[in-house]
Structure 1
Amino acid sequence: MSPQDLYASKRMTAADAAGLIRDGDTVVVPTGVGEPPALLHALSERRQSLNGVVVSQILPLRKYAYYDAGTVANVRHSAYFYGGASRPGGQEGWVDFVPNYFSELPLLIDRGLTPADVVVSMASPMDEHGYFSLSLAPDYTMAAVKKARVILLEVNPNVPFAFGDCHVHISQVSGLVESDEALFEVGLPKIGPVQEAIGKYVADLIDDGATLQIGYGGIPDAVVMQLQHKHDLGIHTEMIGDGILSLIESGAVNNSRKNFMSGKMVATFALGSRKLYRHLHRNPALEMHPVDFTNDPYIAARNDNLCAINATLQIDLLGQCGSESLGSTPYSGTGGQVDFVRAANRSKGGKAFIVLPSTAKDDTISRIVPTLTAGTHVTTGKNDINYVVTEYGVAQLRGKSAKQRAEALIAIAHPDFRAELREQARRIKLL
C-alpha cells in the first residue's frame, strides 16, 4: 500500500479518533503548541463515557472542557509541568502532578514508569515518503510514539516540516484528523525597567561565540533583547521562541562557532508567533529533537561556552532556588532548568544564570530570603547554583563558602531588605 493509500485509509473524524481511547488509558500530549485542539475537544466531548483516563502533558495552553473537577473520575489531567490551564486544578488538588526533570521524561516513558497508551499530537502534512513532522514538540512525544498502542495525529498545513529526530511514518499512525486552524501564538512579554536591568547584567557576561539556552519568561527574553549586538552566537535550547528569532534576524546568531553540531540550532519545542513557525519549515539550520537529546546535561555540555538563562521565584542565602511553587502552592514545574544549569556547569567556559527581580508584590516582599518559605519545592540546589542576577547586580556562588554566598546575595537584594537579611543571616549562623 502506498503512503497516500495508507493516509486515505486512516483519515477519520475527531470523534472517531477519540473513540479509539479506552478506559484506563494514559494519553500523552506534547508540550504547548504541539497539543492538538480538535482531538482534545473530541476527547472532552466523550469524557463522561470513559473511566480512569489520564491526560499527561507539560505546559498546556488551552483550557479544554475535560479540565473539570466534576469528571475527574472519567478523564483526569496529570501535569509534568503546570501551565495556565492546569494550574488552578493543581492548586485545588484535582489535577495530578508528576515531579520530573524534563530531560528524563523519555526515559520514564521508555521504562514504563509513567504510562503512554495513546499519543495525540499536531503534525505537519505528510511528505512524499510518508513522513509527518512533529516539529512543534518532539520532546517526550517521540518516546511515547514508540510505546503507545494508538497514535493519533492532527494534520494541519500551518505546522512546519522541521528536520531532526521528529518524524513519524504513516505506517505507525492509527488515525488522522485534518484541520487548518491557526496555530496558538505567544508574543514576547512586556519588558519593564527591572527586567531590562537584569538583562543588561547578564548580557555583559555573555561573550561573542557563546551558545545559548534561553528559558521561558520575561527576564530571559529581556536578556535576548540586549544580545543583538553580539556576534557568532549559537543556539542549543529546549524552547525556541520569538526572542531567539530576533537574534537570528539581527545576525547575532549564526551558529558558526558552535563546536557541537556546528551551523545548527537545536531545540525540543517551539512557542511563539506564526512568523517563528514559518521559520522552522524545512530550515536546514534548525533541528528539532527529543528532550533527552536537547536537555541531557552531558550532551548539551558538549557545546563550549554554553550560557543557560533561567528564572526563579525565590532564592535563599545558600543558593537554593524555588522556581516552581509559592510555598507549598504549586505554580509550574522543574522543566529544564536543572538540566541546563548542570549542562552549563559542565561546559568548557559555560555559565549558568538564575535571574529574578529582587522583590515581589510592589517591593513589599524580598525574593532573596534567609531560608525558603516552608513547603517550597526546591528546583536548583545549592550545589548546582552558579550566577544569580537581580536588578542590583550579579552574585557568582559556585565554589564559594556559605558565608560568602550569603554576603554576595545580600549585596544584590533590594536595599530596603539588606539590613534585615543580614540580621537574619546572623541568627541562622551564616554570618
Structure 2
Amino acid sequence: MDKRIGHAGLASRVMTAAQAAELIDPGMTIGMSGFTGAGYPKAVPKALADRMMATQGHGDPFRVRVLTGASTAPELDGALARADGIDMRLPYQSDPELRARINRGEMDYLDIHLSHVAQYAWFGFFGKLDLAVIEATAILPDGSLLPSSSVGNNKTWLDLADKVIIEVNHWQPLEMDGMHDIYYGTALPPHRRPIPLIKPDDRIGEPYLRCDPDKVIAVVETHAPDRNSAFAPIDETSKRIAGHLIEFFRHEIAKGRLSPQLLPLQSGVGNIANAVLAGLQEGGFSGLTAYTEVIQDCMLDLLANGVVSVASATSFSLSPVGIERFLADIEFFRKRIILRTQEISNHPELVRRLGCIAMNGMVEADIYGNVNSTHVAGTSIINGIGGSGDFARNGFLSCFLTPSTAKNGAISCLVPMVSHVDHTEHDVSVLVTEQGLADLRGLSPRQRAKVVIEHCAHPTYRPLLQDYFERALHSSRGKHTPHLLAEALAWHERFLETGDMRPK
C-alpha cells in the first residue's frame, strides 16, 4: 500500500479531531477501539474531552456511554474521566482517574466477562450503539480497514453503530497486514453454528475489518504510539511463583495428564505472568502454543526462541523495548502471531475445545478456593474481571497466582473468606504463591482448606488461618464448608480500621 487512505470517498472526509468531536452528541453510546493500551483512538477522545469541558463551563452537562474492548490509555479513559464526560463505562479499565470516579460513585461501571461484550451488544442489552470510533492502520480501496495493534470488539462496533469515525494512525506499521483474522461466521441464537477452529494457528476469517463507507462521518489522521509502559523487572517473588507452577507442569507430564508440549497457554498481563513465560523457556520447554488475550514481551522471547510456535490473541501489550523488538523483526512475528476479535480469542467453546491452561493473577483467595480478582475490601474496584473468567470456567487447568502478602505484610492474600467473589471454588484448579502451590482438584472444601493453608499462606498468617479453620470446624453449624460468620470478614475490617490485617 502506497497510502493510508485508499478509498477516494473516505479520503474526502478527512478532518481534524476537533471537527470530528463536533459530530458527537451528548448521551450517545459509543463503541471505541482499544484493548490493554493498544489500538485505541488517540485524538478524537481528547478533542471530545476538550469540547465537554467547554460545554460544561457554560453549565451544560455533556456525558456519553463508552464501550471498549478492555482498558485503553490516558488519551481516552483518562481524558474523558477528567472531563466528567463518562456516564457509563464497560467492560474493563485501568486508568487511575476513571477508577477513582467509579469508586466515588460518580459514574456507572459494568464489569463483565470480555467474551460477553460483543454478544450482549448484539442481543441489545446495552441499547442502540450510536457511534463507533475505531483506530485503523489503513483504509483499503473498498473501504475495509486494516486493523491496528488490537482487534477487541471493533468488528461488532463497526457492524452495529449507526455512524463511524475512523482514526488512521500512521504510527501503526503497514507490515501488520496479514496478521489479523476477523471471523464473520457468528450468529444469534438459535441460529449459531460451531466455530471452525480446532488449533491455535487456524485462520478462519478475513484479514480486514468490513466497514460500510456510507456510515463513516469522519476520518482523522494521527501519528501517535500506543500506551507502552515498561514492565517492572521480574522480582524474586514472581520467580518463586513461576518456579512452583513450572514444577507442577512437570509433575503433570510425569503423571501423563499433560504432554511435554502442554496445552495452549493463556496468561494474564503483568510481572508474574511474564515470569511464568520466562520460566517455560528456562525450563527447556519447546513446541508450545498460546491461545490468549494479549501478546507481552516474554511471548516475543518464546516465539523467537522456538519455545512457542504460534500465539493467538486479540491485542499486543508491549513495553517500549518490546515494541522496538517487534518492529525490528515484524516479518518473523507476522507469521507466528494471529490477532482475532475478542469474542473469538475469549470464546468459551474454543477455550474448552482447545483445553487451555489458564494462568491469571488475583487480589485474594480464601481457604476454600474462592477467588477475588477485582475488588479491595469488597467495595472498591481495581480494574475488572477481564477475560480471566472466560478461561477459568472453561480451561483444562485454571491457575491463579499471587504473592502471599501485600503492603509489606499488612495484607494476607489468603483469607478466611474473600470479600468479593469473581471465580467460585468450582472454577479454580490451582492456587500458587511464592510459598508453594495448592492443587485443589478433586478435593472437598475441608481438604482444600488444609492444602491452601499449608502450601500457600505466609508463615505470619498461617497459624491465624489454621486457628480460624479449626474453630470453625468445631463451632459452625455446617461441617461441609465451616465458617465463623461473625469473623469471616474480620481481617478485612481490621485492615480498614488499622491498616493491617494482623491482630495487635
Flag whether TM exceeds 0.5 (same fold): yes
State the 1:287 CA deviation: 2.1
1:82 and 1:90 in contact (8 A); partners too: no
Alpha-carbon distance between aligned partners in 1 of 2:338 and 2:118, rounded to the nearest angstrom: 18
2:86 and 2:107 in contact (8 A); partners too: no
State the 1:408 CA deviation: 0.7
Displaced runs of 4 or more, over 3 A: 48-52, 74-77, 127-130, 205-208, 275-282
1:208 maps to 2:220: no
Alpha-carbon distance between aligned partners in 2 of 1:280 and 1:292, rounded to the nearest angstrom: 25
SS at structure 1 position matched to 2:121:
helix
State the 1:77 CA deviation: 5.1
Alpha-carbon distance between aligned partners in 1 of 2:398 and 2:303, rounded to the nearest angstrom: 22
Aligned with 1:38 (options 16, 40, 43): 43
> Which residue of 2 is the match for residue 427 of structure 1?
471
> Which residue of 2 is the match for residue 93 of structure 1?
105
1:27 maps to 2:26: no
SS at structure 2 position matched to 1:221:
helix
1:372 maps to 2:418: yes
* Structure 2 unpaired stretches of 5+: 56-60, 183-207, 250-258, 474-480, 483-504
State the 1:277 CA deviation: 5.5
SS at structure 1 position matched to 2:354:
coil
State the 1:62 CA deviation: 0.9
TM-score, normalization by structure 1? 0.89
Aligned with 1:121 (options 109, 118, 134): 134
State the 1:60 CA deviation: 2.7
Alpha-carbon distance between aligned partners in 1 of 2:7 and 2:408, rounded to the nearest angstrom: 59
> Which residue of 2 is the match for residue 163 of structure 1?
180
1:7 and 1:170 in contact (8 A); partners too: no
> Which residue of 1 is the match for residue 229 of structure 2?
186
1:82 maps to 2:93: yes
> Which residue of 2 is the match for residue 219 of structure 1?
272
SS at structure 1 position matched to 2:228:
coil
Specify whether residues 383 and 389 from structure 1 end up closer, same or farther in structure 2 by C-alpha distance, changes over 3 A only. Answer: same
Q: CA-to-partner distance for each residue in 1:305-348, whole Å, 9 max, x for gaps? A: x211100010011111010010111111111111111231xxxx
Alpha-carbon distance between aligned partners in 2 of 1:371 and 1:398, rounded to the nearest angstrom: 19
1:145 and 1:151 in contact (8 A); partners too: yes
Specify whether residues 382 and 309 from structure 1 end up closer, same or farther in structure 2 by C-alpha distance, changes over 3 A only. Answer: same
1:232 and 1:253 in contact (8 A); partners too: yes
Aligned with 1:319 (options 354, 369, 377): 369
Aligned with 1:254 (options 309, 318, 324): 309
Counterpart amino acid of residue 180 in structure 1: H
Alpha-carbon distance between aligned partners in 2 of 1:65 and 1:254, rounded to the nearest angstrom: 39
Alpha-carbon distance between aligned partners in 2 of 1:190 and 1:240, rounded to the nearest angstrom: 17
Q: CA-to-partner distance for each residue in 1:396-419, whole Å, 9 max, x for gaps? A: 112210111000100121112111
1:274 maps to 2:323: yes
> Which residue of 2 is the match for residue 107 of structure 1?
119
Counterpart amino acid of residue 82 in structure 1: Q
Q: CA-to-partner distance for each residue in 1:19-45, whole Å, 9 max, x for gaps? A: 221221012223222221111111111
Q: Where does 1:237-386 land on structure 2 (aligned, <5 Å)? A: 237-255=292-310, 265-272=311-318, 273-275=322-324, 278=327, 283-304=334-355, 306-327=356-377, 328-344=379-395, 350-373=396-419, 376=420, 378-386=421-429
Alpha-carbon distance between aligned partners in 2 of 1:391 and 1:141, rounded to the nearest angstrom: 39
State the 1:118 CA deviation: 1.3
SS at structure 2 position matched to 1:292:
helix
State the 1:280 CA deviation: 6.3
Give the % identical residues.
Answer: 26
State the 1:128 CA deviation: 5.1
1:280 and 1:286 in contact (8 A); partners too: no
1:13 maps to 2:13: no
> Which residue of 1 is the match for residue 494 of structure 2?
none
Residues matched between the structures, number: 409
Counterpart amino acid of residue 20 in structure 2: A
SS at structure 2 position matched to 1:254:
strand
1:138 and 1:269 in contact (8 A); partners too: yes
Specify whether residues 276 and 428 from structure 1 end up closer, same or farther in structure 2 by C-alpha distance, changes over 3 A only. Answer: farther
Q: CA-to-partner distance for each residue in 1:214-259, whole Å, 9 max, x for gaps? A: 101211111011111310010110111212111111210114xxxx
SS at structure 2 position matched to 1:234:
strand
2:147 and 2:180 in contact (8 A); partners too: no
1:67 and 1:77 in contact (8 A); partners too: no
> Which residue of 1 is the match for residue 189 of structure 2?
none
SS at structure 2 position matched to 1:6:
helix
Question: Over aligned residue pairs, what C-alpha RMSD do you find?
Answer: 2.2
SS at structure 2 position matched to 1:105:
helix
Alpha-carbon distance between aligned partners in 2 of 1:358 and 1:321, rounded to the nearest angstrom: 13
* Structure 1 unpaired stretches of 5+: 256-264, 345-349
1:384 and 1:398 in contact (8 A); partners too: no
Counterpart amino acid of residue 320 in structure 1: N
2:138 and 2:147 in contact (8 A); partners too: no
Specify whether residues 294 and 184 from structure 1 end up closer, same or farther in structure 2 by C-alpha distance, changes over 3 A only. Answer: same
SS at structure 2 position matched to 1:154:
strand
Specify whether residues 180 and 135 from structure 1 end up closer, same or farther in structure 2 by C-alpha distance, changes over 3 A only. Answer: closer
State the 1:167 CA deviation: 1.6
State the 1:8 CA deviation: 1.4
Counterpart amino acid of residue 79 in structure 2: A
- Name the larger-Rg structure: 2
Alpha-carbon distance between aligned partners in 2 of 1:408 and 1:240, rounded to the nearest angstrom: 33
Counterpart amino acid of residue 459 in structure 2: P
